[in-house]
Structure 1
Amino acid sequence: MAICHISAKASVSRGAGRSSTAAAAYRAGICITDERTGEVHDYRRKGGVESSELVMPGDSIADRAEFWNGVEKHHKRGDAMVAREVVIALPAELWADDRKRLAHGFAKELVKDYGIAIDVSIHLPGKEGDERNHHAHLLMTACHVKLDGSLGKKCNELDPIHCKRNGVENLAERFRGRWADMVNKSLQERGIKERVDHRTLKAQGLDREPTQHLGPVGSGLKRRGIPNLVQQRIDQQISDRLRQARDEGAALERQRVVLEESVISLSTDVYAAAEAQLYATLEAAATTRLEAKKRAEAAQRDAAAAQVEADKRKALEAATVASAPATLYPTALAGVTNETLATVPGILPAAAIQQAVVERIQELRTIQTAAPVSIAMLGLEVAQQPVYRERLKAADDRDDRAQQTLDELAPMGKIKRMLNNADAIEANARQIRKDAQREREQIDKDIDRSPEMQAAIRINAQSADQRKQIAFEVKEMDEIALRTERGESVWKQPSHVTRLPEAIVKVLDHAREIAASMVAKMQAIDVEALLKRAIEMKWTQPENVNSVKMAQSRFVQTPAQVQAQRVRAQEKTNSRDQGHGM
């Protein structure tokens, strides 16, 4: 059965040790740092919040944490009343969207009529309570809010003291009739026969006792230790609510992990697509240049063939001359060092270098790098270990008990606070909350320093270094292709470097292997030029032993000597690995 319930809660007053930032964070189930006091109000594990929205004048948009921090800064007095709260019951007969629209519509009317801002938070029924108890908390500013979001003077129309002095109805009494009309209109639009009546039972002509609500009185009985049955029932309700908060917080955390994995997966796909596009562009550019060179060479061969057909004798001589350089060229090339090939152009066929570059780029594309480890997801898994889970649970329990104590002390008057030594109890509760927050921060640091997290960080760093190395080598391959096309040397040697980079060595070694097949398709005059250049640049053994050592120290060696050095280095590595294995 639909009910009409609207009640005004105790105002959020600094004199009672409360703040609007803490109230907004608790109602919305979020984390807000109070910039005035430095306190962190973190209720993300609270659960039970179906939706929350900050309704501003003129339908403007504002950040919740920034707005309520602005409210705290606007009020200067140490006992200032910074906000007011009204709780409304939402009909369980309506759908969730209808309840949300009803609560927000009611808030928008109040914002329009009184020029204030209202933070609307819709809460779900508790698991162990009445499943129909859908309700909304309306946290209202105590001052006017302008259309541009700036704060103005105190809203006297909604001030309880001002209303009492002038004989005006208080917040709940003034809003009750309008709220009942809006509820009945929503029920009618949905075709529901139930209706609510904001009038008293006597005014409605009903002869029954009104329902009772256990509020601050029950809490006071618990503190005095009487009666035990009431205390036990309230303790059980608190335990049930804590269990509900933990369960719902875990569900929200799982949803966040799924969203984070989707974002990480999307980021990895975008990076892989961009990397593949880069490789494809470089390969296409090198292939285009190679094909253009081949077409030019084919045109030259066609012209030479036409000349040969015109003069058989000259064609025969040309064929004889062409075969001799092509046969001698591989032998002459074997005597040229890689250092010379890298720094002197005109020894290797340009087509051989271009093809070696294309095949090296294709080889780089096949290299598999380790997928990045999700640090955030791993941190959640580590946090589920018993040692961290128990510490977090203990910290949350202490925090919840301290917050409950603060909520019970909030509505007390000055005399009652003096009688119950409320100041000392409140100070102790706030210290417990700070200790719990520090414990959570320490747990986060311990998780970050765990062996699992440190290993994941190292793996990600290694994968990133490997990807950077591949990208750098691809860029270097493209530069080699451009320099070769312009007739320049393969490597532009810096003045402070004498050792060839490994990437250059791989390209030159492969170009050597395919050079013999390339010169067989070239014009005789071009082959002769390559042969002549190779003979000129052939490395010769110095007569002086010291000169040999100096030349070798500068890595001016024949390919055979370089290969012999590699074999010896590999044998040393294998021997060292076997020694470690034993």
Structure 2
Amino acid sequence: MASFHHCIKSGKKGTAANHAAYIARQGKYGQREDLISTGHGNMPAWASDNPALFWKAGDKHERANGAVYREHEIALPAELTHEQRKELVDDLIPAMVGDKPYQYAVHAPRSALEGKTNAHLHVMFSDRMHDGIERSPEQMFSRYNAKHPERGGCRKDSGGKNRLALRDEVIQTRKTCAELQNAALEKAGQTARVDHRTLKEQGIDRTPERHLGPVRIQAMSEDEKASVVEARRDHLHRRAM
């Protein structure tokens, strides 16, 4: 049952290193057994072998109330095999973050509702853009100097953009995400497709499903769980017609 889930988040100063450990299942999160793969890229030289150094530097040197990282959380189609999902991840990461510093992880926890694996991708990245200038950890996260870039920090991609421009970027990013998933599904010979648009934009007169969460699901009876699953399947069947 391919369905589109693409959540874009941001993390403020002081939260990046812990979140990186969470997605990589390190430290206190190491007991979780749902990690499929993890990696990083586009890091500065001083963090090329250890992305934790990058996030710790951001937590320490980013301005107060500034976002140290942004993140894409993307559901991966269940119809794809492990290798097909890996190919899709390899396509999604550069499309989502470009050449910005990033760390990613693929998790596949078992669904509390259906008992199936729920594979999804986490890509956390810095909005600080490379410009070819070598900077120390402290300088990298300092304020950008337009007249003398070598004296300031790396410029943020979102800097100077108004709310409308940022909204349009989010819409385009979600569209690209859906297109890459559908291309992967088509390549795999699957008929299922995902759609990044809202239900209203798709012409579907239905209230969006509320996220249940593991605690609420655990409190449900087997009949209630079956009812929710059946409703989801019916919706996906009608959408495919």
Q: Distance in 2 between matches of 1:203 and 1:79?
A: 35
Tell me the amino acid that sits aligned with residue 13 of structure 1: K
Residue number in structure 1 paired with 2:6: 6
Q: CA deviation at 1:236?
A: 4.2
Q: CA deviation at 1:192?
A: 0.9
Counterpart selection for 2:176 from 178, 193, 203: 178
Matches within 5 A, 1:52-201: 52-56=38-42, 61-75=48-62, 77-112=63-98, 115-126=99-110, 128-130=112-114, 131-146=116-131, 151=140, 152-157=153-158, 162-164=161-163, 166-169=164-167, 172-201=170-199
Alignment deviations for residues 68-124 of structure 1 (CA, whole Å, 9 cap, x no partner): 23333442x333321112211100100112212212321112333xx4122111111
Counterpart selection for 2:34 from 48, 73, 89: 48
Q: CA deviation at 1:132?
A: 4.8
Q: Distance in 2 between matches of 1:149 and 1:129?
A: 49
Task: Check whether the contact 1:103–1:120 (CA below 8 A) recurs between aligned residues.
Answer: no
Q: SS at 1:202's partner residue?
A: coil
Q: Distance in 2 between matches of 1:181 and 1:163?
A: 26
Label 1:72 to 1:108 Cα distance change in 2 as closer, same or farther (>3 A): same
Q: CA deviation at 1:3?
A: 1.2
Tell me the amino acid that sits aligned with residue 141 of structure 1: S
Q: Distance in 2 between matches of 1:148 and 1:69?
A: 20
Q: Distance in 1 between matches of 2:121 and 2:53?
A: 22
Matches within 5 A, 1:423-438: none
Q: SS at 2:79's partner residue?
A: coil
Label 1:62 to 1:174 Cα distance change in 2 as closer, same or farther (>3 A): farther
Label 1:137 to 1:171 Cα distance change in 2 as closer, same or farther (>3 A): farther
Residue number in structure 2 paired with 1:28: 24
Label 1:109 to 1:233 Cα distance change in 2 as closer, same or farther (>3 A): closer
Q: Distance in 2 between matches of 1:90 and 1:50?
A: 12
Label 1:185 to 1:49 Cα distance change in 2 as closer, same or farther (>3 A): same
Q: CA deviation at 1:4?
A: 1.7
Tell me the amino acid that sits aligned with residue 24 of structure 1: A
Tell me the amino acid that sits aligned with residue 188 of structure 1: E
The answer to whether 1:203 aligns with 2:188 is no
Task: Check whether the contact 1:100–1:122 (CA below 8 A) recurs between aligned residues.
Answer: no
Instruction: Please give the TM-score of this superposition, normalised by the length of structure 1.
Output: 0.31
Instruction: Please give the TM-score of this superposition, normalised by the length of structure 2.
Output: 0.70
Label 1:212 to 1:149 Cα distance change in 2 as closer, same or farther (>3 A): farther
Q: SS at 1:107's partner residue?
A: helix
Q: Distance in 2 between matches of 1:67 and 1:141?
A: 9
Q: Distance in 2 between matches of 1:147 and 1:126?
A: 43
Structure 1: stretches of 5+ with no match in the other structure:
32-41, 216-231, 238-582
Q: Distance in 2 between matches of 1:87 and 1:174?
A: 16
Tell me the amino acid that sits aligned with residue 29 of structure 2: Y
Alignment deviations for residues 185-228 of structure 1 (CA, whole Å, 9 cap, x no partner): 1111111111112222233233333211247xxxxxxxxxxxxx
Q: Distance in 2 between matches of 1:235 and 1:186?
A: 31
Tell me the amino acid that sits aligned with residue 3 of structure 1: S
Number of residue pairs matched by the alignment:
200
More helix by share: 1
Tell me the amino acid that sits aligned with residue 177 of structure 1: K
Q: Distance in 2 between matches of 1:235 and 1:207?
A: 25
Alignment deviations for residues 326-348 of structure 1 (CA, whole Å, 9 cap, x no partner): xxxxxxxxxxxxxxxxxxxxxxx
Q: CA deviation at 1:168?
A: 3.3
Task: Check whether the contact 2:43–2:102 (CA below 8 A) recurs between aligned residues.
Answer: no
Task: Check whether the contact 2:112–2:217 (CA below 8 A) recurs between aligned residues.
Answer: no
Label 1:44 to 1:145 Cα distance change in 2 as closer, same or farther (>3 A): farther
Root-mean-square deviation (CA, aligned residues, Å) is 3.1
Tell me the amino acid that sits aligned with residue 203 of structure 2: G
Q: CA deviation at 1:24?
A: 0.2
Alignment deviations for residues 271-290 of structure 1 (CA, whole Å, 9 cap, x no partner): xxxxxxxxxxxxxxxxxxxx
Label 1:149 to 1:99 Cα distance change in 2 as closer, same or farther (>3 A): farther
